[in-house]
Structure 1
Amino acid sequence: MTSTDAGRAGSTVWNLPNILTMLRIALVPFFVWFLLADASSHGPWRWAAVAAFAVAIYTDKLDGDIARSRGLVTNFGKIADPIADKLLTGSALVLLSVLGELPWWVTVVILVREWGITALRFLVIRYGVIPASRGGKLKTAVQTVAIFLYIVPLASFAPWLGVVAFWVMMAAVAVTVWTGVEYVVQALRLRAAGRRS
């Protein structure tokens, strides 16, 4: 493939990384159904929810790796990828709170930050796209681990896992708030630079 061909491939929405991102979005309703299907937190459907979550998270890593290695990074991907992440993690957080397994204040703090930053990205998109930062990637990783620890039905067999899950979630809240402030600063700088030009 020539550099021109790579450039054309990177400009189309229908490339492999973007299809994986859309697959991740499509997995969200199945994850939600699986998580709600059992009355208990350790039934067989709970394991199906764990599997759906794990597959969705793997597609997140896979689409990013492919996009960067093959020059398939697109503006659609930059916007759709974080939205897919937020749909998955947001639904997990809300459902865990509905099921009484996670305090509502945790869910509210994280979701206000997540959707607030997404809205901010759209507000400043005419000045440029704000890509995911290293802090944002760390935030996603910590949130993912925390949610995974909450949804894996092992706490009833190993109570200490519940304590670990709680403190990992507290770390996720801290990183989420910190990176949210960073994105606001980035957006303000991008807007100021766009107005000057």
Structure 2
Amino acid sequence: MPATEPRRPAVPSVPVVNAANALTALRIVLVPVFVVLVGCSALVHPGWRIAATVTFAIASTTDLVDGWIARRYGLVTSFGKVADPIADKALTGAALVLLSWYDRLPWWVTALILARELGVTLIRFWVIRYGVIAASRGGKVKTALQVLAIVWYLWPVPGALAGIGAWIMGAAVVVTVVTGLDYVIRAVRLRRSA
């Protein structure tokens, strides 16, 4: 009688339609809503600015929640792995471009942050055959500082406090550059060790 291989337990497939992916999709849908609200405000009308800020804050919060839900309840999908970073970059990128468009943020800051994000994405593809580079604490700090700075710029902050936004964004830029360099170093090490 021929030997048979032991049966492996079936791995349940994760449905694409789940809570984590729904939040990611919501974030994607909120990007054009946010853009329209900023456009209506022209960053001068307080009511529209508040609406834009609240929309941005809700969308940014879904980024925290969808990842937690996906990991906690085993709802990680290929769609989520692709759509989540796209949604993040679309939201942050739109906010930065709009802030520069309305002369609230220097264009070089927007260009630097977007170049870093594009560079990290390309590096991920460069090393994907060798492994995955996990997000660092610095990366999470970078995201938190960027979100806080963007919220500060969007909200109709009184004149005396408005300047704080530039300091927050300055810190975000420093952390963005440092974590970008760290990502390059870790990617090169991963390639060399493979």
TM over 0.5: yes
Looking at CA atoms only, which structure, 1 or 2, has the larger radius of gyration?
2
The percent of aligned pairs where both chains have the same amino acid is 56
Q: Which residue of 1 aligns with 2:126?
A: 123
Partner residue of 1:54 out of 44, 53, 57: 57
Q: Which residue of 2 aligns with 1:175?
A: 175
Q: Which residue of 2 aligns with 1:186?
A: 186
Distance in 1 of aligned mates of 2:183 and 2:16: 25
- Cα 1:92–1:111 change in 2 (3 A) is same
- Cα 1:71–1:167 change in 2 (3 A) is same
Structure 1 gaps of 5+ residues are none
- For residues 2-151 of structure 1, the aligned pairs below 5 Å read 8=12, 11-74=14-77, 76-151=79-154
Deviations 1:3-27 (A, max 9, x none): x78x635x55433212211221121
Distance in 1 of aligned mates of 2:128 and 2:137: 20
User: Could you tell me whether the CA contact under 8 Å between 2:127 and 2:191 is conserved in 1?
Assistant: yes
Distance in 1 of aligned mates of 2:189 and 2:81: 19
Query: Helix, strand or coil: the match of 1:114?
Result: helix
Figure out how many residues of one structure are paired with residues of the other and give that number. 186
User: Could you tell me whether the CA contact under 8 Å between 1:83 and 1:118 is conserved in 2?
Assistant: no
Q: Which residue of 1 aligns with 2:4?
A: none
The CA RMSD over aligned residues, in Å, is 2.0
Alpha-carbon shift at residue 181 of structure 1 (Å): 0.7
Alpha-carbon shift at residue 55 of structure 1 (Å): 1.1
User: Could you tell me whether the CA contact under 8 Å between 1:75 and 1:129 is conserved in 2?
Assistant: no
Alpha-carbon shift at residue 188 of structure 1 (Å): 1.5
User: Could you tell me whether the CA contact under 8 Å between 2:42 and 2:102 is conserved in 1?
Assistant: no
Structure 2 gaps of 5+ residues are 1-8
Q: What TM-score, normalized to structure 2?
A: 0.86
- Cα 1:187–1:58 change in 2 (3 A) is same
- Cα 1:146–1:39 change in 2 (3 A) is closer
Q: Which moved more, 1:51-60 or 1:71-80?
A: 71-80
